[in-house]
Chain A
Amino acid sequence: MTRSDKNPSNGGHAVKVRGLVKHYGGPQGTRALDGVDLDVREGTVLGVLGPNGAGKTTLVRCLSTLITPDSGSAVVAGYDVLRQPRQLRRKIGLTGQYASVDEKLSGFENLYMIGRLLDLSRADAKRRATELLERFSLTEAAKRPAATYSGGMRRRLDLAASMIGQPAVLYLDEPTTGLDPRTRNEVWDEVKRMVGEGVTVLLTTQYMEEAEQLASELTVIDRGKIIAGGGIAELKAKIGGRTLRVRPADPAELRAMAADLDASGLTGLATATVDAENGTVLVPVQSDEQLTAIVAALASRGYALADIATELPSLDEVFLSLTGHKSSAPQDAAPTREEVAA
Chain B
Amino acid sequence: MTTATATPARHSARKVRKRGERSPAASLALHLTLIVTSVIAVFPVLWVLLTSLKPAKYASTTSFFKETTFENYTNLIKDTEFLSWFANSVIVAGLSTVIGVFVSATTGYAVSRFRFPGKRGLMWTLLVTQMFPVAVLIVPIYNIMSTMGLLNQPAGLVITYLTISVPFCAWMMKGFFDTIPREIDESGQVDGLTPFGTFWRLILPLAKPGLAVTAFYSFITAWGEVAYASAFMVGDENLTLAGGLQKFVNQYGAQWGPMTAASVLIAIPAALVFLFAQKHLVTGMSAGAVKG
Chain A partners chain B: no
Residues of A within 8 A of B (CB): none
